[in-house]
Amino acid sequence: MTTDPTSPADRQIPAWIPTVGTGWAALLIQLQEELCALDPDYRIERFDTNLGGLRVTVADRFQEGEFDGEFADRATALTDAAETSSERTCETCGEPGRIRLRGDGPHTWMQSSCDTCRTLPIQKAEPADSTEINRLGTSRP
């Protein structure tokens, strides 16, 4: 799930915490603290969940028109560590987990989950009312 907040304040980690499972909130809070220690004005360029883990890219920083390579290296090390941790942390509860296949048939995806949460029923989105579906053209009358 990729989101693109519009205000500059929304271009930091807290804006994306609600888009992932509660089990990854602690990982993201830690990443927020570490990135703020590097630069309180850092910006997230890309935030996504893919292949069962987090994928985070911090925007490049420039000082006096020059690319700040040291910042880029340090920020990348922090996001890489958070991404690796997410693949070993249950997205639902935060306990140790691993990447597993969820769903069935054409609706299969990868999700990091623990032994307990992997057996929980899959939460399906509530269907929109038929008027909204028809208006969007995604369903036939």
pLDDT in tens, 5-61: 555 456 899 988 988 999 999 999 999 999 999 999 899 999 988 898 999 999 988
Instruction: Please give the Cα distance from 96 to 103 (Å, whole number).
Output: 21
The pLDDT assigned to 132 comes to 36
pLDDT in tens, 72-130: 999 999 999 999 999 999 999 999 999 998 877 788 888 999 999 887 766 544 444 44
The burial class, CB within 10 Å (0-12 / 13-18 / 19+), for 83 is: middle
- Following CA atoms 67, 57, 31, 64 in sequence, which dihedral angle do they give, to the nearest 10 degrees? 20
- Following CA atoms 32, 36, 42, 44 in sequence, which dihedral angle do they give, to the nearest 10 degrees? -10
